[in-house]
Structure 1
């Protein structure tokens, strides 16, 4: 995948990062003075919808984080796309989510029997219908001329022996998705059921969203009416109600951004927080609402999806546009993430979900609201339109 993205070329794979088959490695960042033991470890798994991304992206450099907070930062690679989530029926079901197995292997690599990880920070929640990997695999097999009738194992062998670049080009040119399947081992079927059955890790959670998540995704989304059809169904009353919640004079791109922000991110995160908190887990939520000239990939991106990452890692470009407010917000967010990593049960410095009226921490550069907490309904009131569909659509 490549996008025109001049300021954020490595995030957007423009040009694509250098690649080879020796990419299963991890990076370790430590403070300059390291005690013999006892430092907290932040284990970072990059996003990218299981289709793109790398630990080589400069925004994931953990040096600032490790130095300022005094703990170890580990960033990893894992197999993605068809290389990590094959749809071949010749591979046993429990072995098809190899990309998730990579993550688990590196998390547990040393020591051999570590204590359970103590907490999780969810900055980009994975949500969406399971991709039809087997259909995508059949298309890949056909495109590579590996379609041997009635011999799935021969099809697999043919693909394995194909040129890596040839394999990589097919999903890009044909728009194929290869994502984790439901194997009831590395990946369960329904998130809400997993919470209600207490089959998720019982650890404290820090999670949140950005105010304009969808701006960078609007250009690849279908028209607003089709987007709402996909969520609510064509001509339904719930679709009409949801549409009425948005400005009548909004442009198509504005509507696509708002709908994507709300349905895919704001309301998904809100449901995760509310459901896990109701099940007895400690959850803290934040809302990121700060944009800076040196942190926008294009005019109008505002507080786009993953724009908080350079602030958390302290890796934004230092130039004549860098402001004191930007540096202050970086220190504040690193401190919150650091406090949570060091003492998860105590939280990052504000009220846990459901324990106070104002339980949503606002990360904003505006002096008037800096360091304040809000009522969550200020952000997620729109979710009254979407919550039911999140459940029925398989969240």
Structure 2
């Protein structure tokens, strides 16, 4: 049999070679969630006869086109479709060897994104680290996170968390099949960024995902990111159904409305509509970070971190942030993330760079509330249960857009994947000379963590200590990477009013 042909539980697949790395693309891990299966949990795929070609990416799931992010993250060449539950695999060889497996869950606010973006190409990981990389698609937006509660009967009660259930189904597929691709089903690390890290935070807390992975990496996200209460989610659902002309209980219309029309109706409600996991009492029984505090993932090592200036990225999608004066900024921030204590306002005023514009000074509040706080709570919960925790902060500042973005959200992605050469990356990352060295440090640290649960090795300029309740150390990736003790301590204390 050709080296690129592998036998899975569902049938044979033919992949392609990319240099020294084997790639299998567009592998179905679930039945297409179309027709009668729309808004239902994923089911295992059908088996096939003969050899199925796995040489081209499958469709991406239904999603809007996003000019800014798709421009930055590499335009998608695959058409969106409701039939989008596919995964992709990179491996040094399908030779029966048991290599560590890295499963990537992409970000994109649970609104857009795919496992086939060139930014997430797994070739460098497979080549440099002798590991197997899997990237997945999962249902998003109205198709993956429309909380239907009891509006359409028991069958649809899990519709608010279908994207998460898709991820569990993909992990189950990996557990059952990855040995055929040269991977070790008992040494799986899940990693994700933004909404992907929020997904990892949820998966850590889910009993259904237990045993499907051994380690977890959360880049710029946690189980609290984009999490919704059933009340908030239901209010949003009712607005979407009304706009789409679907009456509660009208299952016929729910299943027959064209996918494009349903997505358009949801998008027409504007940017106030947020998607994400729902604490629905069924799939998600409680807040994921509270579950971690009670030991839901007690034996699982995590690597977790943020970029220094996360929220600056969102000035690209919403430039109005940059036009507001100090009082308007603080008013808007209070509306978006709740009241800011006096001690925190003092902290941001005192620690701002003197030359920084108002919006940069105060958007640090958004970075803390949306990204840093959940990271700290997750790290504390895991460390309290004796799990190894490694924390990082990414400080490389991009020179593009006049330098306004600094070390913004998503900037670390091409460093982690060692994909600085991919199309579109330089438009976002710039070409500062230190970027290659930082990419080496991060990429090999992630590989070491996936192999052993410890990111240390010769690739780092100094040892990266674990984050513990006694020593809240973090590794700072920058032109001169180094360890800092409790770099978020003063900021955290200010939020606690001390």
| TM-score (norm. length: structure 1) | 0.83
1:28 is aligned to 89
Question: Is it true that 1:265 corresponds to 2:362 in the alignment?
Answer: no
Q: If each structure's strand is expressed as a fraction of its own residues, which one has the higher value?
A: 2
The Cα offsets for residues 5-38 of structure 1, whole Å up to 9 and x where unpaired, read as: 38x61538x789631222110011112x454221
Question: Is it true that 1:101 corresponds to 2:165 in the alignment?
Answer: yes
Gap regions ≥5 residues in structure 1: 389-395
Alignment partners' CA distance in 1, 2:287 and 2:494: 20
Whose RCO is larger (CA < 8 A, sep 6+)? 1
Counterpart selection for 1:254 from 357, 360, 373: 360
2:297 is aligned to 200
Q: CA deviation at 1:330?
A: 1.2
Q: CA deviation at 1:230?
A: 4.6
Kept in 2, the 8 Å contact 1:5–1:298? The answer is: no
Kept in 2, the 8 Å contact 1:24–1:79? The answer is: yes
1:309 is aligned to 413
1:37 is aligned to 97
The Cα offsets for residues 150-181 of structure 1, whole Å up to 9 and x where unpaired, read as: xx321x43132112111111222203233221
2:200 is aligned to none
Cα separation, partners in 2 of 1:272 and 1:49, compared to 1, 3 Å: same
Which deviates more from structure 2 when the two are superposed, residues 223-232 or residues 248-257?
A: 248-257
Q: CA deviation at 1:385?
A: 3.1
Cα separation, partners in 2 of 1:185 and 1:201, compared to 1, 3 Å: farther
Alignment partners' CA distance in 2, 1:59 and 1:143: 35
Give aligned pairs, total.
368
1:391 is aligned to none
Kept in 2, the 8 Å contact 1:47–1:124? The answer is: no
Kept in 2, the 8 Å contact 1:46–1:54? The answer is: yes
2:260 is aligned to 165
1:330 is aligned to 439
The aligned runs of 1:1-395 (5 Å cut-off) are 5=68, 9=71, 11=73, 18-31=79-92, 33=93, 35-88=95-148, 89-92=151-154, 93-112=157-176, 115=186, 116=211, 117-126=213-222, 127-130=225-228, 132-147=232-247, 152-154=248-250, 156-175=251-270, 176-200=273-297, 202-218=299-315, 220=318, 223-233=329-339, 239-247=341-349, 251-293=357-399, 296=400, 299-317=403-421, 322=431, 324-344=433-453, 346-349=454-457, 350-354=464-468, 357=471, 359-365=473-479, 369-370=480-481, 372-376=482-486, 378-386=487-495
Q: Specify the SS of the correspondent of 1:56.
A: coil
Q: CA deviation at 1:182?
A: 1.3
Kept in 1, the 8 Å contact 2:146–2:159? The answer is: no
The Cα offsets for residues 36-78 of structure 1, whole Å up to 9 and x where unpaired, read as: 2210000001112222211122111111111111101100000
Give RMSD over aligned pairs. 3.0
Alignment partners' CA distance in 1, 2:287 and 2:394: 27
Q: CA deviation at 1:84?
A: 0.7
Q: CA deviation at 1:4?
A: 5.2
Gap regions ≥5 residues in structure 2: 1-63, 178-184, 187-210, 322-327, 458-463
Q: Specify the SS of the correspondent of 2:306.
A: strand
| TM-score (norm. length: structure 2) | 0.67
Q: Specify the SS of the correspondent of 2:341.
A: helix
Cα separation, partners in 2 of 1:201 and 1:153, compared to 1, 3 Å: farther
Kept in 2, the 8 Å contact 1:97–1:180? The answer is: yes
Which deviates more from structure 2 when the two are superposed, residues 351-360 or residues 283-292?
A: 351-360
